[in-house]
Amino acid sequence: MTEQMRTAASAMCKVHPLLGGDVSGALAFAAGTHSDRRFASVFVTAPDGLRLHIRSYGSRVASALPVVCLPALARTAADFHPLAEALAADPGKPRLVLAVDYRGHGQSEYDCNLDNYTLPVTLADLSAVLIALEIAPAIFVGTSYGGIVVMRLALGRPTAIAGVLLNDIGPVIEPRGLVQIKRYVGKLPVPRTFQDGAET
């Protein structure tokens, strides 16, 4: 993480009360207020006490295996909305679909400790979600970073995985690809105001 990113994140944690303090009121307000009512917001407590947001589509009693969707590094659970709706409403095999917001993303709580934005912490968070919601085995859809998370999960908890669909990632990341990723991660323009940041 660059020093510029640390400074910006630290400032956000100090300036905005919802990001640095108790977010339970904001999260409770967000739950169940979806205009389309086609998914429910579920919150799970991470091992360190942080609140994680999961979009839940479909029924927990569906007979087909559940699907767990993991977004790319700078994305949110909302990316999977069309896919999750289609899978949950499939007349032949309706299923429970969960789309996870990583810590600091979407409606999950922001972590002021920037050292917690790592793959091992993400794996611990995901394990907490799977255990709390009693999801195993499941089919996982991982986009980019989400695919890396799924591959690492397979090493530590292979029985949690019934199948994997990888999108925009593979088992090998070529050096050219890493260079390209490093060019854009952490290089987004810094918004002038909090409102500008919310709109980008």
Checking if the pLDDT of 25 tops 80, the result is no
**Residue 75 CA, distance from chain mean position:** 8
Of 198 and 11, the structure prediction assigns the larger pLDDT to 198
Contact predicate 44/127, CB 8 Å: no
Q: 0.85 cut: is pTM over it?
A: no
Q: Which one-letter DSSP state was computed for residue 100?
A: E
Q: What is the CATH number of the domain that holds 41?
A: 3.40.50.1820
Taking Cα atoms as reference points, which of 35, 41, 46 lies closest to residue 99? 41
pLDDT given at position 176: 86
pLDDT bracket for residue 187 (50, 70, 90): low
pLDDT given at position 183: 76
pLDDT bracket for residue 58 (50, 70, 90): very high
Beta bridge partners of 40: 56
Number of domains, the chain: 1
What rounded mean pLDDT belongs to the chain?
83
pLDDT given at position 171: 78
How many CB atoms are located within 10 Å of the residue 121 CB?
19
pLDDT given at position 186: 65
If you average pLDDT over residues 94-122, what whole number do you get?
Answer: 96
Q: Which domain holds residue 14?
A: 3-199
pLDDT given at position 31: 45
If you average pLDDT over residues 116-139, what whole number do you get?
Answer: 96
If you average pLDDT over residues 37-45, what whole number do you get?
Answer: 91
pLDDT given at position 172: 81
Checking if the pLDDT of 189 tops 60, the result is yes
pLDDT bracket for residue 80 (50, 70, 90): very high
Checking if the pLDDT of 51 tops 90, the result is yes
Contact predicate 104/16, CB 8 Å: no
Of 8 and 23, the structure prediction assigns the larger pLDDT to 8
Q: State what percent of residues in the chain have pLDDT above 70.
A: 76
